[in-house]
Chains A and B, each alone.
Chain A
Amino acid sequence: MARLSDSSGASDGDEPSGDEPNDNEPGDGAARVSVDGVEKEFPGERGPVRALDGVDLDVADGEFVCLVGPSGCGKTTLLRIIAGLEPPTGGEVRLNGEPVTGPGPDLGVVFQEYHLFPWRTVAGNVAFGLERQGVPEEVRERITSDLIELVGLDGFGGAYPSELSGGMKQRVAIARALAVDPEILLMDEPFGSVDAQTREMLQGELLDVWEETGKTVVFVTHDVEEAVTLADRVVVLAANPGRVREVVAVDLPRPRRRTDEGFVEGVERIRGLIGD
């Protein structure tokens, strides 16, 4: 994967577009995210609805953080704000110290419903961001095929999304987000639409990819076991209005087994925090 990061040219800092939040640390692939007093209000029928109320959160280089919480706690909204897809009504998000002002290739996003471009093949989807950056075709092809291999889809480069299963689509979406070598990978319940068996497999594969690429990951889920399986730290949010309730560090060696004492304890503790 180091080869991928070096060759993509995604963060070499020589792109003309000036709206990238930052472009230092080329090829390092890890970033520090700080969420500072972020507030979000949506207009409602009876006055504004407060979705997020002063959220503070720091994510370290290469860290894997999961956001969990009851429905309505604003975890997806928080992720979208970090991704620059939605502006906060208060506070600020910074990536390596630079304020995030909008979406861009530094902020990789993976959605629950995959959102692949249906008119593009698997390879075409993965190559999309690279084409935007004007990466030469040979380089593009190499990165694309390496990534397709990384997510275990060799031989499917020419397939269209309509020919793929849900799990395969999500692998493509992950490869597509990784292709532009983002500083951080933001994932919104990415495995929420696949069956339990596929989900466990994808979790394992994601950890492999994470270890190989060293990306910083912020991962939204409503599945507490998934959070404890994946995360270095689990951020538990509370609802109405959305705020950070507690941050639980998961100090267990990977791969984690769901029957281990520490695992069960962690899950119980987080469930208790959500349920109260």
Chain B
Amino acid sequence: MSVDTEEAAVDARTLFASADRDWRHLARGAAGLAGFVGVWWVVSLFQNDLVLPSPVSVAETFVAELLSGAMVTALFQSMLHWIPGTIAGTLLGVGLGVLLGWSRRADDTAAPVVRLLRPVPPLALIGFAIAWFGINHAGAAFIVAVGAFWINFYNAYGGVEAVSEDLLDVARSLGVSGDLAMVRTVVLPSALPEILTGVRTGIGRCWMLVVAAEIFGVPGIGRQILTASNNLAVDVVIAYILVLSLVFLVVDSAFRAVQRRVLVWRD
């Protein structure tokens, strides 16, 4: 096998090119963001504060809410049902998705129930959340978990279904026998990209569900937004929406970094 030094040169070139492209991406993104805030600001000049407060007054409100501790408290409260709900729903969804994707028998058995429950929107289950858990973090976490469950279930199911029959043949002829060994050595690693996409989508979707789930009275950022809406405090509404976006941005970027690292083998 001849090893090309050319390959290394090509690597270096593409590396520089991609760094260059990254900068251009960032510059364009910054310009877009500045444009958005600019338009917002210009429009707000001609509007009542009740309709659209200016970016400046939103920033002032943001700082005030942050300093008063209200924002941190609300964020912490939302985390209390977002994190457990997302984790529980993700684990269950991935677990059942892998099981049903792999086992024909389990799939046949569960398919009617899955089809029956699938179309139920998580928020339609608020009654159950209250009845089973009460108006508290557990109730809200339940709603969040339902949302996380389906996204993860379908991604894991699809990922497992798409595992190449040929790779399974290779594994069999290298001595893998039994479902558990096959799932561990071939099915899970092979389906991992789809599973991680599901987890990532689920994290985002659940963050939105957190706000919706707080409608029924559980404290958190969603609750703050609803209260502020009732008081026509649009600047507060926007400040809390900003918190949602910022938290999502941080969590999603962190997860994406993990995803890239875990899936380094993909071209």
Contact = CB atoms under 8 A, between A and B. Distances in A.
**Chain A interface secondary structure, helix, strand, loop or mixed?**
loop
Contacts of B185: 128, 132
Interface string A163-186: 100011001000011001000000
A84 B173 contact: yes
Interface residues of B, number: 25
Nearest to B11: A163
A115 B170 contact: yes
B47 interface: no
Interface string A1-19: 0000000000000000101
Given A84-B173, A117-B190, A177-B173, 14 more contacts: A17-B177, A85-B169, A85-B172, A85-B173, A102-B177, A103-B172, A108-B173, A115-B169, A115-B170, A118-B265, A119-B190, A155-B3, A162-B266, A167-B1
A153 interface: yes
B69 interface: no
Contacts of A153: 1
Contacts of A155: 3
B108 interface: no
Contacts of A156: 1
Given A17-B177, A115-B164, A119-B190, A103 B169 contact: yes
B51 to A, nearest CB: 53
B173 A103 contact: yes
Contact of A119 (B171, B173, B265): B265
Contacts, number: 83
A102 B172 CA distance: 9
A163 to B, nearest CB: 8
Contacts of B263: 119
B14 to A, nearest CB: 13
Nearest to A118: B265
B166 A117 contact: no
Nearest to B171: A128
A109 B192 CA distance: 26
B171 to A, nearest CB: 8
B175 A162 contact: no
Interface string B235-248: 00000000000000
18 contacts: A19-B177, A83-B173, A102-B172, A105-B174, A111-B169, A113-B166, A117-B167, A117-B170, A117-B189, A119-B263, A120-B265, A121-B265, A129-B175, A151-B1, A153-B1, A162-B267, A177-B173, A177-B174
A263 interface: no
A22 interface: no
A128 to B, nearest CB: 6
A107 interface: yes
Contacts of B170: 109, 111, 115, 117, 176
A95 to B, nearest CB: 13
A115 B167 contact: yes
Interface string B149-192: 00000000000000010110111111111000100011001101
A252 B121 CA distance: 73
Contacts of A168: 1
B265 A171 contact: no
A133 B1 contact: no
Contacts of A161: 265
Contact of A104 (B175, B186, B190, B192): B175
A183 B52 CA distance: 77
A153 B175 CA distance: 24
* 4 nearest A-B pairs in the assembled complex, by CB-CB distance: A162-B267, A129-B174, A152-B1, A103-B172
Nearest to A182: B173
A160 interface: yes
B173 A105 contact: yes
Interface string A47-88: 000000000000000000000000000000000000111000
Contacts of B264: 160
Nearest to A104: B175
Contacts of B192: 119
B175 A132 contact: yes
Interface in B1-15: 1, 3
A133 B3 CA distance: 32
Nearest to A20: B175
B177 A111 contact: no
